[in-house]
Structure 1
Amino acid sequence: MKFLPILFFSFLIYGCNSKDSSEQTSEQNATKLVNSPEFSSDSAYQFVQKQVNFGPRVPNTPAHKACGDYLVATLKKYSFQVIEQPFTATTFDGKKLNARNIIGSFNPTAAKRILLTSHWDSRPFSDQDSTIKTKPVIAANDGASGIGILLEVARVLSLQTPKPDIGVDIIFFDAEDWGSSGEETSLEYSGFCLGSQHWAANKHVPNYTAYFGILLDMAGAKGATFFKEGYSVQMAEEVVRQVWTTASRLGYSNYFIDERGSAITDDHLPVNKVAHIPMIDIIHTRQNNLAHTFFDQWHTADDTMEHIDSQTLKAVGQTLLQVLYQEAAGQAL
């Protein structure tokens, strides 16, 4: 994804229709945390490692196909109904990609549905690296971490008896990270987010919708900080509030920072704008640092497993499960 340096939205928008802090605190205290299953950070870590073991998952490569087949098989193993959505994408530099979005559905007959997404492809060049700019990115954090968390969510959901009274759709978007790093292009989103753009315009089920959606990106690094991403606040503020409140109640406020952050071009934008599903982005950013908006290894050859942290995976994954179970119980925070 690409950082867009824009003016922050007015604080009037951020605060519009909100209640004062005392009312919010009273409501939060009145809603109890429901019991939710345990998210295994060790299992999530192994899901990240498995993807990295394939090598860079760059579209049109054997590693990309092999990893995609693994993701499909794993979702099916956990009794998800799986749809593969193949498509041909054209990159900003004119290349044709054989890509596929992978959609897995849990409890597919449930009327109330939550959409969870991440991208599974790797960037084909390390343009932010100080030396090796042409080497493909292994993408342990920028790609594999979000997928690893969602695979663990899928595994946990598959074990529950009875099933929670909610539908969960997991989409692994392809061809997210082959965008321009500064070259001029007329493509929307500078050539990033090709898979989510395709899905938003061609949903896997006609007239599909979800109550809301959550995108994970760069969700597994040591010491990650997840500020309230700017577009998420603008387009799905109530979902942002719910997720950050849940994280805080679970004790993860050192990861989920209660401050508004930068606005980031990412896969949630076409989902909001074209599919009309309110989706937020849980993405590792750093505040007031235009030179290093993301984690240090972003788009470099050093985005490897040594920087993935089980505690970060746990914070994000347990928060997602709690959000799902609060919704299933009709007890959203």
Structure 2
Amino acid sequence: RVPGTTAHKACGDYLSEKLAAFGADIFEQKAHVTHYNGQNIQIRNIIGSFQPEKEKRILLFAHWDSRPFADEEPDPDTQNRPIPGADDGASGVGVLLEIARQLQLQPPGIGVDIIFFDLEDWGQPAFDKNYLSGEWWCVGSRYWSENPHKDNYKASYGILLDMVGAANATFLREGYSMQYASNVVSKIWSIASHMGYGKFFVQRNGSYITDDHVPVIEKRGIPCANIINLKDTDNGFAPHWHTHNDDMRNISKATLQATGQTVLEVVYRELDENNI
């Protein structure tokens, strides 16, 4: 799913078609950006809006691109090849696709917007020593935050799903989420605990992660919680992060289930006060 490739286009078409099949109104954002290495890259943000007529809304999002580098690989000869991105990107997208299916079967009391952001993971690789100042991460979400699919778009809050598929995942309370959306974090983690998913949604603060929720918070003023697998490792992530081992061998149905059912429960507990 590296931007600019045939596989990336095919995946984007699939995601757009599935959201439409599940009853969402589809918006697509396409724009060209010049990236850190001077390369011109087209981004494609895919938005599915459920019950667009409802005023009260929740935003659910993940990134769907995969990193073109494996800069955490110990062998330099393999670092310039793309990662599979089964956990980093695809896991969150997969959970949101199932949530979209459920939203069609049982519409919630509020409107829901699902966004698949592009070009989150093409930040300058660690092996490139020619450091260039700029915002090279989270490009798709930053673009949408400055150019939302609807003028003056607002949501009560947002939930980001990033790396939510690994076995024995630990979703610590990420720093920016706690700083700007502590009440949203408390709601999600409390519901997860009551559903028996406390071993995944750990009641412990984690580090600050530059991720797609940051521009949504800063530029749209929407409080967002990041559900992300954080570990006590040198880089703070699971061992397969940004390596060629980020494949289906690391994906756990139990983790996907815990994430999806928790987020769905959060959505279904919300009511649109205007329609009570």
If the length of structure 1 is used for normalisation, what is the TM-score? Answer: 0.79
SS of 1:328's equivalent in the other structure is: coil
One-letter code aligned to 2:151: P
Tell me the alpha carbon deviations over residues 77-123 of structure 1, each in whole angstroms, 9 at most, x when there is no partner.
Answer: 00100000001122222211111100000111111100000000010
Matched, 1:217 2:162: yes
Distance 2:264 2:12 in 1: 24
SS of 2:172's equivalent in the other structure is: strand
**2:83 is matched with which residue?**
137
Counterpart pick for 1:195 among 140, 145, 156: 140
Tell me the alpha carbon deviations over residues 260-293 of structure 1, each in whole angstroms, 9 at most, x when there is no partner.
Answer: 0010000000000001111111110014x3x141
Larger-gyration structure (1/2): 1
Distance 1:164 1:125 in 2: 39
Distance 2:154 2:196 in 1: 31
Distance 1:198 1:170 in 2: 16
SS of 1:265's equivalent in the other structure is: coil
Counterpart pick for 1:323 among 257, 266, 272: 266
Structure 2: gaps spanning 5 or more residues:
none
**2:180 is matched with which residue?**
235
Residues 143 and 218 in structure 1, CA contact (< 8 A), matched pair in contact too: yes
Tell me the alpha carbon deviations over residues 269-324 of structure 1, each in whole angstroms, 9 at most, x when there is no partner.
Answer: 0000001111111110014x3x1411111101111001100000000000001000
Matched, 1:62 2:62: no
Residues 89 and 175 in structure 1, CA contact (< 8 A), matched pair in contact too: no
Matched, 1:153 2:96: no
**2:110 is matched with which residue?**
166
**2:132 is matched with which residue?**
185
Residues 72 and 243 in structure 2, CA contact (< 8 A), matched pair in contact too: yes
One-letter code aligned to 2:213: H
Distance 1:251 1:278 in 2: 26
CA RMSD of aligned residues (A): 1.1
Shift of 1:329: 7.6
CA distance 1:238–1:109, change in 2 (3 Å) = same
Residues 173 and 196 in structure 1, CA contact (< 8 A), matched pair in contact too: yes
Matched, 1:309 2:266: no
Residues 24 and 50 in structure 2, CA contact (< 8 A), matched pair in contact too: yes
Residues 69 and 125 in structure 2, CA contact (< 8 A), matched pair in contact too: no
Distance 2:197 2:123 in 1: 32
Residues 56 and 272 in structure 2, CA contact (< 8 A), matched pair in contact too: no
Distance 1:305 1:63 in 2: 17
Distance 2:111 2:229 in 1: 27
Shift of 1:181: 3.1
1:1-333 aligned at under 5 Å gives the runs: 57-131=1-75, 132-160=78-106, 163-182=107-126, 183=129, 184-188=131-135, 191-287=136-232, 289=233, 291-328=234-271
Residues 90 and 97 in structure 1, CA contact (< 8 A), matched pair in contact too: yes
Alignment: residue pair count: 268
SS of 2:114's equivalent in the other structure is: strand
One-letter code aligned to 1:223: N
Distance 1:94 1:283 in 2: 30
Greater shift in the superposed pair: 94-103 or 74-83: 94-103
Distance 1:210 1:257 in 2: 26
If the length of structure 2 is used for normalisation, what is the TM-score? Answer: 0.95
